[in-house]
Structure 1
């Protein structure tokens, strides 16, 4: 796991490329505190800050082939690198390291962009072809690792995190109201969005070629939920799930440093921990977030699993004060507006994890998307069939809809019945499954003085996918989750950014392509979809405490506005002061101030979910403006990092043509 950054100039000019690339890498040093390296050529500079996990001694970056034609800066892990290496050796490639970075380089040399389809992992990388003067950029198929691009005059910039652009002289950040409207509407950036004007994210499953100032984009992987396997019985389905997840965890335990597990208290992370414990030769370390507020706390289940498996368990107990204090730092690392505070405890948990000496963790992220664990999928099934169901069956399914809600009773069922009558037919083309969620998004969009249509871009996204129209209602819901909340929030704001803020790599076995493919082959085949993840639970029931194996989904949440109301940190002036709100001219300042005042002064039970979400959006937008647009408070938010120890610095500008040299694999400082 690492961070990458760089730039390429169409006019081949830059006054101080060494100073600029060093500054960009220093801004993302938290991603790779173990070492840094860069390569310079006419009009190009790119580099890496490294978190040493595989082959720590020899896997220094950037790395090149023997001829010096190809240079790679790489972030992430390709978990099936050993199998790919064996194939490449058979093709005549000779390896100088034991890390996956060199496998990625030689896979590109062997197969070009087609190699991306062979990779099972989470990654983004920049590969420079010195002979052709082409720069290739690529990102994994599920968006686990970030990669941003921006134009700055004749220069194209790229980096794992946008904060690297703060080090580029003359570069200015500006929040984009059109993108913000979209983010507020569906709670998360779309695959290409960053929230800032002129900066875009390379979408998951895509690669790009930069040539003479032009960016060409190509899709190498399209989401599909069509059954890829023929499963003849429920017994076979359970056996296949058990075997496939075991393989996925085994691949993600490949590391030259110790691997730990995040325990949430739910069944998904417990399964991952159980498998890791069986497959790990040493005692397993587990890590959890505990909350002082009992409404959010799952520590009893976390400890139950840890004791059952005999792990070395570590917990980070979170108070309202912790959330309020850490919020600015977490927002700075997140870089995009957030609709909940749950990412802040994950920021603190990764800090605790790194303090315990762990650089790599596994988590249960992706299980609900693959195995239809969210209420969203049950709601979609029921709403899609609503007009065809008799009254007694409607009520029976409504009663099974929210088993995790302790006070879900007759009055609630009556209210939901009315809502489902209203939303039983599609109102927004292609977005049927998410229409209920988007009601909250419409409220949040009121933060903007001119929100336009917050759903125009997501409507265009689904309309532009030829296969989307032929999907079932539930498959469309999955597609939307995999394209929006999963990469835009769960894997980034709450995942990659919070873990890498403290130099911890997160790995997700449920996001193995084979696991997702298998899930699509068994979902809804042996049950009606209303018993949450039954096949998955049955596959591992004998390895888990019964209380956890049978526990219904308890969504991971953290105290939102209540945490800030209790502590009232000074930075709340950003959303309460008329003069501060005036710095954000695209906001509806009166609405924003009125909302902030209400959620910070009224009792928590008088603040609705949509008001909580909108307040968090408002606060994070204001903090992002402070850090990135006004460039204030960066020192307090971790914005003054130093470059890690320089392990490789290669200057190719004196060489007329690519050729083998000691500089390709040796450190030149």
Structure 2
């Protein structure tokens, strides 16, 4: 099940809600093209669209218990549902299906919100108690599946994607300049931010209750470091890495449809594909992006892994024109300003995946966060030690810092030396690890008139986190990645939102609670601080070609402004016209127009990273304004085949007394 929507307003009848809930479902129909269903009551309606993966015949939603009191609309998968089902059966639960949806419902009825800590999966769900009128929403611990909500008068609206709120003509989408300043500054929204006024994103690891029109939020889990097993040797650590990743992949292969793998060309997805092949009875299907622009292409490594594993491989070739032509559609699905174009090829790759008949894919997302794969972590360690190191050690460390950059030479080392002198001490409390990255964000924030300070929100956010101040500098860097860039961009704009735009579910074996707990316990204990993901690489040496194991991090990127300069699509007029830009009152039109003219007319080599990034922000903000605020160019939404429609005011309600559902808070 892959998309949910709902409305809670005690003043509205079931009949009046029926048309609205169907239209809301139609707006997210791409997430679940196999079917739709809804339940309505006086003052309440919710529904789901389905991508049939587990027990296709019996998992139709909304799903209810035998009493007819509790109703569930569920998006995602609980990978350990079989183990939970066994435990629930021992507690007296009787199951009618083989679907994890029924496990979620019985788990909540039996354990209340405590069940959320037991779930290993990516999910968002809504659960309605027809006896009390209470509504509960919940989201997974890593933020793999989205869930937005909005309070409008007496109404509470919720949906997997904000575009469902376009159902209501009087729902005014307004981009929030304060949120945009924060998003531009740190490259990504904070967990509660949507970019729009009055719309909240339910943060990862939280659940929400709506009672009598009042909303309360609750945290059921948060990131904790050094909670894994006590490991005394590197050999033991490598064994545990293999064992836990093997188990994680095995869980995520649970499906009644074929599961494929996205191959990037790097070690993370290659490991996932290797383990998936171990459990496959037939050749594994793998999918990759191939770029015409060789600067971004990893085709040789992708083919090497595919040939090594004997996979059935599909490659989607991407040109500048493909990126430019697909941007408006990809932005519509992303719903969020984006600082790079890399999500657009993923939009096209998911289309290809769906065309080849694959509904579920595994990817390597989350490996860099868990196993310290980003340059950010190495930079943080070196900057922290900078003032204590003699000059020769500083230079020696800098020479080893970026082995993947072929052009990295003495001039670059001299420039980095100056930066490290400048940023060797913390300037923004709690954000030491990210201060270098945020410099580009300060430039991007110039797009906004009278913008709020771009780092005000994130400074308040980290200051409010219990225990954060006691983390090491690397742990703070990891925590920030897990809370910002991973859920706010990698799992959403570039990941989930692009895959589900064509009805493909993305599963991430590295985002497993047991893998996270192990990785954060052993990284700093056995890693050398210079070779990213060394433990992960060594754990699978011999299973993959050394060329893949020893390949240094090659960040996945795509052509940014160069693609638009080459294609010059008509929609760029919105960036070049002062009249069009003036329709967005918070945009600094002079700065924006000057930037757009430079980016679109000068050679790509003359455009800096921060200018590329800011151009992509400007373009996405303008396209979001056109689509959501002005509601121009919207296509008529299509409702998937209707499989279930229940009106509780006509069918009657059972009043069950089992479980502790109504006494959770």
The two structures have a TM-score, normalised by structure 1, of 0.97
Give the equivalent residue in structure 1 for 2:371: 371
1:227: how far off?
4.3
**Alpha-carbon contact 2:14-2:649 (below 8 Å) kept:** no
Q: Alpha-carbon deviations, 1:230-277, whole Å to 9, x = none?
A: 111110000100000000000000000000000000000000000001
The answer to whether 1:645 aligns with 2:604 is no
- Shifted more, 166-175 versus 609-618: the winner is 166-175
Give the equivalent residue in structure 2 for 1:282: 282
Q: Name the SS for the 1:305 alignment partner.
A: helix
**Alpha-carbon contact 2:14-2:45 (below 8 Å) kept:** no
CA distance in 2, matches of 1:658, 1:109: 15
CA distance in 2, matches of 1:434, 1:517: 23
Give the equivalent residue in structure 2 for 1:451: 451
Q: Name the SS for the 1:511 alignment partner.
A: coil
1:528: how far off?
2.4
**Alpha-carbon contact 2:39-2:46 (below 8 Å) kept:** yes
CA distance in 2, matches of 1:506, 1:354: 12
CA distance in 1, matches of 2:222, 2:643: 38
Give the equivalent residue in structure 2 for 1:94: 94
Q: Name the SS for the 1:519 alignment partner.
A: helix
1:9: how far off?
0.5
Q: Name the SS for the 1:523 alignment partner.
A: helix
1:12: how far off?
4.2
Q: Name the SS for the 1:221 alignment partner.
A: coil
- Shifted more, 525-534 versus 158-167: the winner is 525-534
CA distance in 1, matches of 2:456, 2:649: 46
The answer to whether 1:306 aligns with 2:306 is yes
Give the equivalent residue in structure 1 for 2:663: none
Give the equivalent residue in structure 2 for 1:269: 269
Give the equivalent residue in structure 1 for 2:31: 31
Give the equivalent residue in structure 2 for 1:142: 142
- Shifted more, 93-102 versus 227-236: the winner is 227-236
1:395: how far off?
1.4
1:11: how far off?
3.0
Give the equivalent residue in structure 2 for 1:666: none
Q: Alpha-carbon deviations, 1:492-523, whole Å to 9, x = none?
A: 00011000000000000000010010001110
Give the equivalent residue in structure 1 for 2:346: 346
Give the equivalent residue in structure 2 for 1:591: 591
Give the equivalent residue in structure 2 for 1:181: 181
Gaps of 5+ in 2: 657-665
1:659: how far off?
5.1
1:14: how far off?
6.8
Mapping for residues 567-646 of structure 1, pairs under 5 Å: 567-635=567-635, 640-646=636-642
1:15: how far off?
6.3
- Shifted more, 437-446 versus 388-397: the winner is 388-397
Gaps of 5+ in 1: 661-669
Q: Identify if the C-alpha distance between structure 1 residues 323 and 414 changes in structure 2 by more than 3 Å, giving closer, same or farther.
A: same
**Alpha-carbon contact 2:175-2:195 (below 8 Å) kept:** yes
RMSD: 1.0
Q: Alpha-carbon deviations, 1:33-52, whole Å to 9, x = none?
A: 00000000110000000000
Q: Identify if the C-alpha distance between structure 1 residues 432 and 611 changes in structure 2 by more than 3 Å, giving closer, same or farther.
A: same
Give the equivalent residue in structure 2 for 1:54: 54
Q: Name the SS for the 1:501 alignment partner.
A: helix
CA distance in 1, matches of 2:195, 2:47: 25
Give the equivalent residue in structure 2 for 1:220: 220
Give the equivalent residue in structure 1 for 2:660: none
Give the equivalent residue in structure 2 for 1:121: 121
Give the equivalent residue in structure 1 for 2:255: 255
Q: Alpha-carbon deviations, 1:123-178, whole Å to 9, x = none?
A: 00000011121000000000000000012221000000000000124111000100
- Shifted more, 356-365 versus 383-392: the winner is 383-392
- Shifted more, 317-326 versus 2-11: the winner is 2-11
Give the equivalent residue in structure 1 for 2:659: none
Q: Name the SS for the 2:247 alignment partner.
A: helix
Mapping for residues 163-174 of structure 1, pairs under 5 Å: 163-174=163-174
Give the equivalent residue in structure 2 for 1:663: none
Q: Name the SS for the 1:428 alignment partner.
A: coil
CA distance in 2, matches of 1:283, 1:528: 37
**Alpha-carbon contact 2:627-2:633 (below 8 Å) kept:** yes
The structure 1 segments of at least 4 consecutive aligned residues displaced by more than 6 Å after TM superposition are none
Mapping for residues 231-630 of structure 1, pairs under 5 Å: 231-630=231-630
CA distance in 1, matches of 2:409, 2:111: 58
CA distance in 2, matches of 1:571, 1:14: 42
